Structure 1
Amino acid sequence: MGSAPDDSGDDGTSYAPLFGPGSQFHAFFNDPRWALAMVRATVLEAAHPQIGAALIDNSTFVAHPWRRLKNTFLSMQRMFGADEQVRLREAARLNRLHARLQGTGAGDRPYDALDPAVRAWVVATLFESAVTMCRLSGQPFEQQAMEQLYAEFRAFLTAMGDEAGHLPEALADFWPYFDQVVERELENTEAMRIILFKLFDHLPAPPVFSGFPALWATGRALAGPVIGAITVASLPEPFRRKAGLPEIAGAQSVMQGAYLAAGLARFLPDGWIQSAGIVNLLATSPHSDDPRARTITALGDQMKRAGALLRLLAPLPTQPQPDPAGGAAARRSAQEFFAEVLDQTGDGYLDWPDLAAMAREIAGRLDLDEPEETRLYDAYAAWWRELQAALDADGDGRVSIDEYAAAVPALAGPALIRVAEVLFDVTDRDGNQHIDAAEHRALFQTAFHRDTTHSGGTYTRSAFINEFLSFMSGRLRTTPYDPLLAEA
């Protein structure tokens, strides 16, 4: 679906565009309050049994939350931007992704990410949370603006190929629909509890701040419970009662203060608060060529030197230090590699959703269409069957960390080599059997930091495949593959 005309209709009525500049959604896309609203919407989504089950089984939001944040943000940019072709392409990609998310959750209840009623609920939570964020920050929507925003979200649903009728046509009918879903369908799901009570308390540092573990842990310990309390306080009261969520004294005041403060931040000069810039910075590897990452890395080095001086003045008990000779090529233990790379969903096991998450991340970075995307998924599926046959000693359909550690050499079989070959093929967009700097950057989103004196600035097929196999089977830490598959 394209944008509505922004001049006038046949009756002379003026219309605002449904997508891109001039739309209501575009007006608050960089609004700091949107961060709080997105967390709230995610909790309401996760409370739906089908969505909660799909998140538990397939999502990387526990192990790789910052990656998921960036991917979600990029997808919303594409869907709500002005370019209709980009929107249609992204909608097709999302539909292919959702078609792969089917299964059985808790209580043997099936879930299907293509269920139109479920997809309508996702859109409903985004709209309702946007309205709520404005109300809580003391600047509620005017009726006409709210009607326009609702039309934009219904247009988003239509762009996905669903009937907009799965959301009520009139805004007045939306609120009874929303209340009915909250009352009859939402539950205290495991996914919702993880987001509220575990995710923020254990949130790993974003890649760009990975060099400050102590500082991050201290800030997280203070901010995590506050974010959880703010989110709980902002949820609909009937759902809070139904789910048995705790009432924390003063949480309502803290929540309103947080929304008010975030609302005031939007009056900062243009460019100070830009969602795209913040999200990209958080997801940037400290080894990238981004000037902001280099600045943070330099600051970290200065802080480490200052810390070393303080330890000289007031020595602390000796702590084990990493091997300084390891560098970027240091080997991981089997347990570290399992947790950081293989267990993409963070449930403590290796199974198909973990490898599907790897394929999904690569396909998203390269913006693959059919049939390349299917080739990549098929290669990973074949690798999973090979791993399951070789490592699943107890036959429970998944691989535990102990099973992996006991049979590590079996990881590098023919199917993994096939994954490497397909990865090369889909990265080599021009088909010239070499990966040049632009193709390399498209996959790894970082500088082309390689010794290219012997290859004219390109990767040969064998060199590319060998590096991938060295990472996956040798458990080596590498500058390109860690940001792609290991970092949060």
Structure 2
Amino acid sequence: MTTATPQTAPDEANPLGPESQFHARFDDPRWALALIRATVLEAAHPQIGAALLDNSTFITHPWRRLRNTFLSMRRMFDADPAVREREAARLNRLHTRMSGSDSRGRAYDAMDRATRAWVIATLFESGVTMCRLSGQPLDQDTMERMYAEYRSYLAALDGDAGELPEDLHDFWRYFDRVVENELENTEAARVILYRLFDHLPAPALLDSAPTLWAAGRAVAGPLLGAITVASLPEPYRRRAGLPEMPGAPTLMQGAYLAAGLARFLPGDWINAENIIEVLSLRPGSDDPRARTVTALRTRMKRASALLRLLTPLSGDPDPDPDPAPTAATGESRRTAQEFFRQVLDQTGDGHLDWPDLAAMARELSTRLDLDEPEETRLYDAFATWWRELQAALDTDGDGRISIEEYAASVPSLAGPALIRVAEVLFDATDKDGNGTIDADEHRTLFRTAFHRDLTTTDGTYGRSAFVGHFLSFMSGRRTSTLYDPLLTDA
């Protein structure tokens, strides 16, 4: 027996607008489980799995990836068609830059139409599945409306939705065929299931309590993995050799039921945007919620200290989450190895190559919400810097830079190309082109306070100061209250 969902009149002229089924369920807590499931099904596709491993920051910066994905989906379902068109154009530019080959020599291209259709298919199917697993299956009319919305989503990206069947009944045959014949036990899918949760870094809210986070992650990680595996289509689980854990189906249904009940909490408590923003806040931010975050962090530090006393997780003390800065500069130095792992290796594969610098350009472009030609100028500046780094540091000629090659380099790498990156970034941040960065422009890039983050006293941030701070961070291997949240935090 199906459970009806409150209906709103569909807007056929604007299927992705505020009356869509997507909007009705956007803050549904069950999406936390369903999106993990959809991501595994995406990563199990050979082309998507290869693109994720080569280009994505989902291993090293999962919270950043979550926030950017959330913002993109918000824009793609905005009531204003112009906002949707602009976001679709941005996504297409981003995907155009992602192509290559996997470990077996098979080519992948993020603009492949069939592959992009599979991404949309996993989101729709996981949305339907999350309702079914939580005991509230969608009725046929609601499913058809929702499917039409996701086809409109694909059409906004590709110009048409021809890669997905027009009829919902045909969609299920299409979905089963891809699961049966095309999905593989890819490395990217294995990383999400078995490594991502085990090594998931703390969000900014919890980064001052490493012991508390590690203890909770040690319990929650395997449970999330088991729940996700149990929710995957049985043909894929069989072909991929995924384990059948006793009790996992019951645990999975219990998790979806509990998440479903959470939707009856007050709206502000489960608002996805509020949750993501609060998790991302750091002390010192001028966001009104920062005071609450600071109080929570203080309590978590105490809980973490108590946990270390009662149940130490290892013989080694916890690393100091807030290394002591130098009195003169408010900064502290990193070793070459630390800087390589924390800043340069954005994709987490242990090497520095173009996808790492492209990930930096992508994050900066996303923060600044750049259009053309500013976005291409920023990517081009990073590409020139990559060629300069490769020429100087790639001593074995393998096309990438190892941590050993980087550590053996001269301490400063502030060459002309890096200076150019800083100048282009300044121009992109200085939206009004007046030669200085004001408080609003500053927050757009850094999402932090203005005066407290700078040593300037005239209320502006000039080009020379901006370039100097950027070079100090990128070449001097110094910590920075500005750039760490931008390029280092998860």
Give the TM-score of the pair, scaled to structure 1.
Answer: 0.93
Query: Is 2:175 the partner of 1:175?
Result: no
Q: Which residue of 2 aligns with 1:25?
A: 22
Do the aligned residues in 2 keep the contact of 1:287 with 1:479 (CA within 8 Å)?
A: no
CA–CA separation in structure 2 for the residues paired with 1:282 and 1:34? 17
CA–CA separation in structure 2 for the residues paired with 1:195 and 1:320? 26
Find 1:389's aligned residue among 385, 391, 403.
391
Q: Which residue of 1 aligns with 2:226?
A: 229
Q: Which residue of 2 aligns with 1:462?
A: 464
- Matching of residues 50-199 of structure 1 within 5 Å: 50-199=47-196
Deviations 1:24-50 (A, max 9, x none): 111110000011110000000000000
Do the aligned residues in 2 keep the contact of 1:388 with 1:399 (CA within 8 Å)?
A: yes
CA–CA separation in structure 1 for the residues paired with 2:20 and 2:52? 30
Q: Which residue of 1 aligns with 2:5?
A: none
CA–CA separation in structure 2 for the residues paired with 1:318 and 1:68? 31
Do the aligned residues in 2 keep the contact of 1:452 with 1:458 (CA within 8 Å)?
A: no
CA–CA separation in structure 1 for the residues paired with 2:385 and 2:483? 18
- The code of the aligned residue for 2:249 comes to Q
Q: Which residue of 2 aligns with 1:370?
A: 372
Do the aligned residues in 2 keep the contact of 1:350 with 1:400 (CA within 8 Å)?
A: yes
Query: Is 2:344 the partner of 1:347?
Result: no
Q: Which residue of 2 aligns with 1:37?
A: 34
CA–CA separation in structure 2 for the residues paired with 1:326 and 1:179? 59
CA–CA separation in structure 2 for the residues paired with 1:433 and 1:95? 31
Report the alpha carbon displacement of residue 392 of structure 1 after superposing the two structures with TM: 0.7
Report the alpha carbon displacement of residue 291 of structure 1 after superposing the two structures with TM: 3.8
Q: Which residue of 2 aligns with 1:275?
A: 272
Deviations 1:41-89 (A, max 9, x none): 0000000000000000000000000000000000000001211111000
CA–CA separation in structure 2 for the residues paired with 1:358 and 1:228? 29
Q: Secondary structure of 1:111's match?
A: strand
- The code of the aligned residue for 2:248 comes to A
Q: 1:270 to 1:433 in 2, by over 3 A?
A: same
- Matching of residues 395-474 of structure 1 within 5 Å: 395-409=397-411, 411-450=413-452, 456-474=458-476
Deviations 1:424-465 (A, max 9, x none): 111111111111111111111111144778552111110000
Point out where structure 2 has 5 or more consecutive residues left out of the alignment: 1-7
Q: 1:422 to 1:84 in 2, by over 3 A?
A: same
% identical equivalent positions: 69
CA–CA separation in structure 2 for the residues paired with 1:56 and 1:289? 36
Deviations 1:169-209 (A, max 9, x none): 00010000000011111000000000000000110001121
Q: 1:112 to 1:325 in 2, by over 3 A?
A: closer
Work out the number of aligned pairs and report it: 478
Q: 1:303 to 1:242 in 2, by over 3 A?
A: closer
CA–CA separation in structure 2 for the residues paired with 1:247 and 1:473? 49
- The code of the aligned residue for 1:412 comes to A
Do the aligned residues in 1 keep the contact of 2:28 with 2:263 (CA within 8 Å)?
A: yes
Q: 1:454 to 1:151 in 2, by over 3 A?
A: closer
Do the aligned residues in 1 keep the contact of 2:211 with 2:304 (CA within 8 Å)?
A: no
Q: 1:455 to 1:408 in 2, by over 3 A?
A: same
CA–CA separation in structure 1 for the residues paired with 2:308 and 2:225? 36
Do the aligned residues in 2 keep the contact of 1:209 with 1:286 (CA within 8 Å)?
A: no
Q: 1:412 to 1:171 in 2, by over 3 A?
A: same
Do the aligned residues in 1 keep the contact of 2:351 with 2:402 (CA within 8 Å)?
A: yes
Deviations 1:226-248 (A, max 9, x none): 00000000000000001000000
Deviations 1:125-149 (A, max 9, x none): 0000000000000000010000000
CA–CA separation in structure 2 for the residues paired with 1:311 and 1:242? 42
Q: Which residue of 1 aligns with 2:257?
A: 260
CA–CA separation in structure 1 for the residues paired with 2:163 and 2:308? 62
Report the alpha carbon displacement of residue 18 of structure 1 after superposing the two structures with TM: 1.3
Superposition RMSD in Å: 2.4
Find 1:215's aligned residue among 200, 212, 235.
212
CA–CA separation in structure 1 for the residues paired with 2:204 and 2:388? 31
Q: Secondary structure of 1:103's match?
A: strand
Do the aligned residues in 2 keep the contact of 1:358 with 1:485 (CA within 8 Å)?
A: yes
CA–CA separation in structure 1 for the residues paired with 2:307 and 2:241? 48
Report the alpha carbon displacement of residue 307 of structure 1 after superposing the two structures with TM: 7.3
Query: Is 2:205 the partner of 1:203?
Result: no
Q: 1:15 to 1:302 in 2, by over 3 A?
A: closer
CA–CA separation in structure 1 for the residues paired with 2:20 and 2:134? 21
Query: Is 2:248 the partner of 1:246?
Result: no
Report the alpha carbon displacement of residue 295 of structure 1 after superposing the two structures with TM: 2.2
Q: 1:304 to 1:125 in 2, by over 3 A?
A: closer
- The code of the aligned residue for 2:114 comes to A
Do the aligned residues in 2 keep the contact of 1:16 with 1:22 (CA within 8 Å)?
A: no
CA–CA separation in structure 2 for the residues paired with 1:132 and 1:100? 32
Q: Secondary structure of 1:73's match?
A: helix
171-180 or 297-306, larger mean C-alpha shift:
297-306
Give the TM-score of the pair, scaled to structure 2.
Answer: 0.93
Report the alpha carbon displacement of residue 21 of structure 1 after superposing the two structures with TM: 1.9
CA–CA separation in structure 1 for the residues paired with 2:177 and 2:162? 16
Q: Secondary structure of 2:380's match?
A: helix
Q: 1:451 to 1:104 in 2, by over 3 A?
A: closer
- The code of the aligned residue for 1:186 comes to L
Query: Is 2:284 the partner of 1:287?
Result: yes
